[in-house]
Chain A
Amino acid sequence: MKKTTAITRNSLSGPLDDVAADAGHLEHPPRVGFFTDTSVCIGCKACEVACKEWNLVPETGFDLLGMSFDNTGELGANSWRHVAFIEQQAPSRAPEQAKATVDLPMPSFDLPGAGSGAESRTDFRWLMSSDVCKHCTHAGCLDVCPTGALFRTEFGTVVVQQDICNGCGYCVSGCPYGVIERREGDGRAHKCTLCYDRLKGGSQPACAQACPTQSIQFGPLDELRQRAAARVDELHAGGVTEARLYGEDPNDGVGGDGAFFLLLDEPEVYGLPPDPVVPTRDLPRMWGFAGAAAGAMLTAVVAVFAGSRRP
């Protein structure tokens, strides 16, 4: 399918129907992305491995972080997929359990730790979620890049051209999700490319292909959004009322993510910002304040010299 659209409004923030056209690709394939359904993630990290293998991402050493099964820690220059593991008490499903209770230190007749059988177990759940670059509709990293190394591909994704990046590091601070990072020893910024090379060859990204549970789904964004909405309805109908989508809304602060998620708790529990905004949204306003300050400075200089032609 090819689309042709003229450049329209909302180039800096807000909903944008055709990101690729906005970036100048007048003839282009449909925008693609990821829908990561964390409710079926089993934490196997096949995505992390497949990504490293395919993209030749360097290893990060052997770290034991003490964060459940997560020894990757975060997305970064050398981790383009990151599986988060959260151990928490399961939300109670039955209405009589709705009111949570807490332990008070009251005397009891049992030896401490006496109850170690099934009766002492609690409802526990393990949240797992494979995080990735969001390929934002309005990408902070791309907007601030001064060399043009970061660019919008014809697929609507965001990619760094490694032969151009000069390592200024602006993108690192431009990303509201803390995704992109400068690589130690290499000096350039690296992040997920949504397997641009594989897309060009007509394949799907390595992580999506490796995922054994279809937690990572790849496809045209429109289709993924429909699938995700249906999946949330299904989970809600099954009593999983905490299921919610994250990053799918074109009206959010980044104009919607190309890679969005189905989560089972608040985003910050997974290390995601609850309401990210592309800094570019305020750029005209920032220049407005800068213009006022610059004008004041110029006026002040005229004033300090005024009325004193010769010392």
Chain B
Amino acid sequence: MSERSRSHRKGKGADDGSREAPMVPRASFESYYGRPILKAPVWEDDIAYYFFLGGLSAGCALLSAGADITGRPALRRGTRVGGFAALGLGSVFLIKDLGRPERFLNMLRVFKPTSPMSVGTWILTAYGPAIGTAAISELQPAWLRRSLPGRLIDALARPAGLSAAALAPAVASYTAVLLSHTAVPAWNEAQEELPFIFTGSAAASAGGLGMIVAPVAEAGPARRLALYGAAVELAASRRLESRLGIVDEVFHTGVAGRQLQWAGRLTAAGAIGGALLGRRSRAAAVASGAALLAGGLFERLGLLNAGRQSTKDPRYVVEPQRARLRARDVLHVAVAEIQTG
């Protein structure tokens, strides 16, 4: 409760020495009965699952294109199928999280450049069929492969896979803009790092899946991609978690704090384990890959929860805004002084 709303006694006893001028100024933070100013995001954990799966799919699309061109059939097959499955499952979570899932297609009635969700929907609309075609060509049974449509799909597989790869970096990064383009303090103020965390995590997860699905001889690029992704994700997270002043708290405390800590541990362990042992033992490669996938999922859950938390305490809204206003006042005074003096 704010200093000001406490009751003050006056009158009797006013000159018995019990009244003194306050030594500390009035508490600087005030709120309306401590209630939140912002509404908490309505998104359930489903959206974190989608972010994870969408990122995984994008990373897989890139890996599979590289595997296709450099002649790594097992890596190509595993990441094409994995990338398509991840996208399919992710879309289910995405649609399930709507208040009116049956109206999902209303997303396609407009293209709105100011809405990252609209931009993302259109990116996915182009990306889905591309990765889908590449994946179906891997899954065709022999009898279908011999038929005309089957041969057509096989012929389209490479161009489709390359198109998916070209769109994949957008699939992996638009979700970061989607989160930052909100009034949620932890997400909005993380606008510089979130795209790197998301693309890094997408690369790490896909590298992890690559290590699981491909034999060690083919999985070299997957191990290196995992190392790159983990390094970018961890470096960007480190920068983010100490840059935001009071809002930093939400990344270090509570559920979000624990999830992000585990995300960091699992991602680092998976990437390093994969690089050191993944070339020698398939079992170690699979374990490292699983750690990377779990790390990617925890990262998204942790960021979702950090954002939720930052809307629940009005302090995270008021204090940064107050600081901004104070800085502006100082600037105005300085400018006025320069002009007059």
10 contacts between A and B (CB under 8 A): A104-B18, A120-B10, A167-B103, A189-B99, A271-B37, A273-B38, A280-B114, A293-B173, A297-B172, A305-B67
A178–B311 CA distance with the chains assembled, in angstroms: 9
Q: Does A262 contact B (CB under 8 A)?
A: no
Q: When the two chains form their complex, are residues B321 and A101 in contact, meaning their CB atoms are under 8 A apart?
A: no
In the complex the two chains form, is B99's CB within 8 Å of A294's CB? no
A12 to B181, CA, bound (A): 12
Q: B100 near A140 (CB under 8 angstroms)?
A: no
- Cross-interface CB contact of A274 among B199, B232, B322, cutoff 8 Å: B322
In the bound complex, do residue B183 and residue A301 qualify as a contact, i.e. CB atoms below 8 Å apart? no
Bound CA–CA A296/B169 (angstroms): 9
Chain A residues with CB below 8 A from B18, complex form:
103-106, 108
Bound-complex Cα distance A83 to B173 (A): 42
User: Whose C-beta in chain B lies nearest to the C-beta of A99?
Assistant: B21
- Range for the number of chain A residues in contact with chain B: 35 or more
Q: Chain B: residues with CB nearer than 8 A to chain A?
A: 2, 4-5, 7-13, 16-22, 26, 29-33, 35-39, 41-43, 62-63, 65-67, 69-72, 97-101, 103-104, 106-107, 109-110, 112, 114-118, 121, 165, 168-170, 172-174, 176-178, 180-184, 187-188, 191-192, 194-196, 198-200, 202-203, 217-218, 220-221, 224-225, 228-229, 232, 311, 314, 317-318, 321-322, 324-325
C-alpha spacing A119/B311, complex, angstroms: 44
Contact of A297 among B9, B99, B184, B199 (CB under 8 A): B199
Whether A275 pairs with B321 at a CB distance below 8 angstroms is yes
A-B contact count (CB 8 A): 309
- Indicate whether A2 reaches chain B with its CB closer than 8 angstroms: no
In the complex where A88-B4, A293-B196, A293-B198 touch, is A172 in contact with B35 (Cβ < 8 A)? no
B11 in contact with A300 (CB, 8 Å): no
- Which A residues lie at the B interface, using CB under 8 A? 12, 65, 67, 73-74, 76, 84, 86-89, 99-106, 108, 110, 114-115, 119-122, 140, 143-149, 164-170, 172-182, 186-189, 266, 268-277, 279-280, 282-283, 285-287, 289-298, 300-305, 308-311
- Most chain B beta carbons < 10 A, residue from A122, A274, A308: A274
Q: Are B42's CB and A120's CB within 8 A?
A: no
Question: Is B35 touching A89 in the complex (CB atoms < 8 A)?
Answer: no
Q: Can you name 8 extra interface pairs (CB under 8 A) apart from A104-B19, A294-B199?
A: A106-B18, A115-B11, A149-B106, A169-B42, A174-B182, A271-B33, A301-B225, A308-B70
User: Once the chains are docked, how many angstroms separate the CA of A102 from the CA of B4?
Assistant: 11
Chain B residues closer than 8 Å to A189, beta-carbon distance: 99
State in angstroms the CA–CA spacing of A292 and B173 once bound together: 10
Quick one: given A106-B18, A122-B10, A173-B184, are A305 and B66 in contact (CB under 8 Å)?
yes
Q: A108-B18, A146-B121, A289-B192 are in contact. Are A140 and B13 (CB under 8 A)?
A: no
Contact B225 A290 (CB under 8 A): no
**Which 8 A-B residue pairs are closest in the complex by CB-CB distance?**
A167-B99, A187-B99, A271-B32, A294-B169, A293-B195, A169-B42, A166-B103, A106-B18
